[in-house]
Structure 1
Amino acid sequence: MAAEVIRVLVVDDHPVVRQGLRTFLDLQADITVVGEAADGATCVTEAERLRPDVVLLDLRMPGTDGVYALHGLRETGNPARVLVITSYTEPTAIVPAVRAGAAGYVYKDVDPLALAAAVRSVHAGHVLLHPSVARLLAEGDTRPGAATLTAREREVLEEVARGNTNREIARRLVLSEKTVKTHMTAILGKLGLNDRTQAALYAVRTGLVSPVGK
């Protein structure tokens, strides 16, 4: 069986950067660039039209920026995983993007092969955060529902943060898929979250699992 091809939308206001990213990513057998956008608003529109698996998103763009795009993707219910690619090096500059729904970030000087690996990792459901960013997120998270999670719900949440599907979680925890879905509904309700991506980010923020990445 052929491997699944990851569909990527590249968002950056510099045409040369977009072309460079497209050229490299299209060389990967399991990754294809399905479109480009130059600002946050176009990102939301193109993501709705193309339905990519991963959005490779610059943060600083004229007009509507990356954080605008993240909020727009969330509001439209777009399921794409977002990997921020940025020149910012200060952890505090990344936090708003992660809080808005980004699954991780890489720097613009990242090694090309490491970038491809990051795209695959985010697509697989992992969260790519430097420990310093995870710490800042944890310090600012005061959700009251965390203390009400049962031991089993915490186990399920940990598996979600590791990128496992409901079927995989059911197998690992010796549960039915229906039971896993029931636990997920309870977890999202107690924590006031909307989807699995937010749940995975919450697990990293609170130290339930270690962040994947640098």
Structure 2
Amino acid sequence: MMASRQVRAAGRTAPTIRVLIAHPHPGERSVIRTVLDTGEQIRVVALTGDAGEAVTLADRMRPTVTLLDDRITAPEGTDLVRALARRSPVIALTAATEHRAISTMLRAPFKGCLVYGHHEPADLLGAVRAVAAGLGWLSPVAVAAVAWALRESTRPPVP
């Protein structure tokens, strides 16, 4: 039986953050896993490229955090983000940089959003740790989208 990795911090044992990666491309899943494997107290417990399998794995593996690439599509009538969010907090991984696309995505129950090409490996580790601790995490492009959406929602109507 394999014991869960734990780290001593400030005289106490911190629990291991268990991560599920749902990404459609095996090579990119592998890169994400490699980055996460460098992080103290982070352990990838499952990888998949399939929406249905992601939900099944989330039920079985009980991840602390799920990373979900927005290119994974769920069957018609299924809200994959909500299904996964009932099992663990979800961080969106996306290539979208257009503020409307990101704003729309953030209306789903994501706890974080990382935009490919606009974050470093340390940001991925920080996002997983922050979301596991009950906080949110947005890459700078996602923050700009949120700021845009707030400005749009508070603009006075044009006469």
TM-score, with length taken from structure 2: 0.74
Counterparts of 1:42 and 1:137, CA distance in 2: 36
Residues 100 and 16 of structure 1: CA distance in aligned 2, closer, same or farther (over 3 Å): same
Question: Which has the larger strand fraction?
Answer: 2
Does the alignment pair 1:119 with 2:128?
yes
Residues 117 and 86 of structure 1: CA distance in aligned 2, closer, same or farther (over 3 Å): same
Does the alignment pair 1:136 with 2:149?
yes
- Aligned ranges 1:135-154 → 2 under 5 Å: 135-136=148-149
Residues 52 and 134 of structure 1: CA distance in aligned 2, closer, same or farther (over 3 Å): farther
Query: How many aligned positions are there?
Result: 136
- Specify the alignment match of 2:43 in structure 1: 32
Question: Which has the larger helix fraction?
Answer: 1
Per chain length, whose mean CA-contact separation is higher, i.e. which structure has more relative contact order (CA < 8 Å, sep 6+)? 2
- Aligned ranges 1:156-175 → 2 under 5 Å: none
The one-character-per-residue Cα deviations of 1:97-139 (angstroms, maximum 9, x if unpaired) are 3222001101122211111011111111122241432552786
TM-score, with length taken from structure 1: 0.57
The one-character-per-residue Cα deviations of 1:127-184 (angstroms, maximum 9, x if unpaired) are 22414325527866xxxxxxxxxxxxxxxxxxxxxxxxxxxxxxxxxxxxxxxxxxxx
- Specify the alignment match of 2:103 in structure 1: 95
Query: Shift in Å at residue 93 of structure 1?
Result: 1.4
Counterparts of 2:106 and 2:152, CA distance in 1: 14
Query: Please, which moves more after superposition, 90-99 or 101-110?
Result: 90-99
- Cα RMSD of the aligned pairs, angstroms, is 2.4
SS of the counterpart of 1:89?
A: coil
Stretches of structure 2 lacking an aligned partner (at least 5 in a row): 1-11, 154-159
% identical equivalent positions = 37
- Specify the alignment match of 2:57 in structure 1: 46
Counterparts of 1:127 and 1:138, CA distance in 2: 21
Assess if the C-alpha contact under 8 Å between 1:40 and 1:68 holds in 2.
no
The one-character-per-residue Cα deviations of 1:13-58 (angstroms, maximum 9, x if unpaired) are 0000111111221121211100012132221121111110100110
Stretches of structure 1 lacking an aligned partner (at least 5 in a row): 141-214
- Aligned ranges 1:182-197 → 2 under 5 Å: none
